[in-house]
Structure 1
Amino acid sequence: MDVDRIAAQSQPYLLSLFRFITGLVFFHYGVAKLFKFPPVEMFADVTPWSLWGIAGMLEFVLGGLLMIGLFTRLAAFILSGEMAFAYFIEHMPHSFFPVVNDGALAIVLCFACLFLAAAGSGPISVDALRR
C-alpha cells in the first residue's frame, strides 16, 4: 500500500474528525465556565457577563457549531481570535515563553481554528449537507 495515497484518501474525513475534536475541546471549556461542570477551581468565580463568562459563551456556542460542522469557517475564525486575545491578555503578561506562562493550549487552539477557518468543515458536517 502506498502511504501517500491512503493519507490523501483519508484527509477529508480526518479534517471532519479534527474539526469535531477541536469543537469538543471548546465546548467542554464553555460548559465548565458557564455551568460549573465539572467543577474546576479556576472557573469557580466566573459570572456570565464577566470576560471569562463571555469567553465561555463563545466557546459553548461556537464549539457546538464546530462539532456539528455548521458555519464552520465563521465559528473557527471567531474562536481563533478569541484564543489570540486570551493568550495576549491572560498568558503573555506572565512571561514571553508559552511553557512558562501556561499558554501553549491557547496558541495551539488559535492556530487549529485558523486552519479550520481556511480549510472548512470536511465532508461529515452540516455545512456539507447544505451545499
Structure 2
Amino acid sequence: MSARLNTAQPYVIGLLRIVVGLLFAVHGAASLFGVLGGAAGTQGGTIDAGTWPSWYAAVIQLVGGTLVLLGLGTRAAAFVASGSMAFAYFDVHQQAALWPIQNGGELSVLFCWTFLLLVFTGSGAFGLDRLLARRTSAEERRAADQTPVAA
C-alpha cells in the first residue's frame, strides 16, 4: 500500500501546488485589481500602489502565486511567499493574540507552512520546472553525443 502511495506523491504535490498557487494569486488579484470582492477590509476596492506593506504583499501574492501555480521557479517563489506570510502573521495577526485561532491568522500560517513545504519538495508533477529540466537534460545529452572524441 505504501509503495502505491509513494508513486502518487509527485502528482499529489503537483495538485497541492496548483491549488495553493491559485488561491494565493487570487488574493493578490483581489487586492490589486478589486476583482472577486476586492481587497480585505474594503468594499470591492483595491490597495493604493506603494502602500507599505499591503501593496507589496499583494504583488508577492499575485506574482508568487502565479509562479507556484505554473510550477515555474517554484522553490524560490515559495520561499518568498512563505516569508511574506510569516511577516504577515507576526506583524499583523500576532499583535492581537498569541494563537492563530484567536487572532485570525490561520490562513497566513497555513500558507506560510505550505509554501515552506514546497521549498523542500519542489514543484511535483505538472510543473514547468520539470518540463524545462527534461528539455535541458535532453539537449545536454544530444550535445554530448555530438561532441567528437579526441583520439
TM-score of the two chains, using structure 1 as the length reference: 0.93
Describe the superposition over 1:24-71 as per-residue Cα deviations: whole angstroms up to 9, x where unpaired.
111010011000111245143521211211111111011000011000
Determine which of 119, 122, 125 is the counterpart of 2:121.
119
What is residue 42 of structure 1 aligned with on the other side? 41
Describe the superposition over 1:58-98 as per-residue Cα deviations: whole angstroms up to 9, x where unpaired.
11011000011000000000000000000011100000111
Determine which of 12, 17, 20 is the counterpart of 1:19.
17
Letter in 1 for 2:97: S
What aligned pairs does 1:3-18 form with structure 2 within 5 A after superposition?
4-18=2-16
TM-score of the two chains, using structure 2 as the length reference: 0.81
Structure 1 residue 11: deviation in Å?
0.7
Report % sequence identity.
34
What is residue 84 of structure 1 aligned with on the other side? 86
Query: Is it true that 1:108 corresponds to 2:114 in the alignment?
Result: no
SS in 2 for 1:10: helix
Structure 1 residue 5: deviation in Å?
2.6
Query: Is it true that 1:69 corresponds to 2:67 in the alignment?
Result: no
Structure 1 runs, 4 residues or longer, greater than 4 Å off: none
Return the index of the structure with the highest Cα Rg.
Answer: 2
Letter in 2 for 1:88: F
SS in 2 for 1:42: coil
Structure 1 residue 124: deviation in Å?
1.1
Tell me the C-alpha RMSD between the 2 structures.
Answer: 1.2
What residue ranges of structure 2 are gaps of 5+ in the alignment?
A: 134-151
